[in-house]
Amino acid sequence: MDLIPVMVDGAVVFNLQNSCHTKATHCENCTHLILNVHNWIRHAELEYTIIDFQDEKDICPTFLEEILLLRKRLNFPFLFAGVMERPQSYLESFNYTDSYPLFVTPEDAVRALRIQHPGLTERPVKMPIKFGFPLLVSWKQMQGEAWGANA
């Protein structure tokens, strides 16, 4: 499972790819993914997160739980698009929809983010983003480059 950053209407959106097949309550792969997402977001100094679930019917509960915990830690807008019934009920059980609705498309999420937080999507990102490439791959490459530069 991975997230792939793409540009949607001038904003960074993460597309869910290769949904987790474990779907366990303690999935190490999803926990590891969210840890890397956290590090990537912090390094990039991105101040919002939009995730497009791309109409996946069943999303690993560990991924959902960890992304909601990350949302609390980072304390900035987290928006979700393409959310089907099962993940929607999970997000609603954690009162996610008290702060933001679930969006049908990422374009809708970007539009809502711009209305609620003008200028947020126009702030510069502090590192180059490899759009269209899995986040874990680009994060590992960037870490390798940073380590190689310090050698």
Helix (H, G, I), strand (E, B) or coil at 25: coil
Strand order in the sheet with 49-52: 2-8, 11-17, 49-52, 78-81
Compute how many other C-beta atoms are within 10 angstroms of the C-beta atom of residue 18.
Answer: 10
What does the radius of gyration of the chain's CA atoms come to, in whole angstroms? 15
Of the candidates 120, 128, 141, the residue with the CA atom closest to the CA atom of residue 36? 141
Strands 78-81 and 2-8: unpaired
Phi, psi of 147 (to 5 degrees): -70, -40
- Tens-of-pLDDT digits for all 151 residues of the chain? 889 999 999 999 999 987 777 766 788 888 988 998 999 899 889 999 999 998 788 888 889 999 999 999 998 999 999 999 988 998 999 888 888 899 999 999 999 999 999 999 999 888 878 899 888 777 666 666 554 444 4
- CATH number for the domain harbouring residue 146: 3.30.750.24
The predicted structure's pLDDT at residue 136: 76
Which domain range does residue 83 map to?
2-150
Position 149 scores a pLDDT of 47
pLDDT for res 108: 97
- Compute CA distances 36 → 25, 70, 117, whole Å: 19, 11, 26
Count the domains in the chain.
Answer: 1
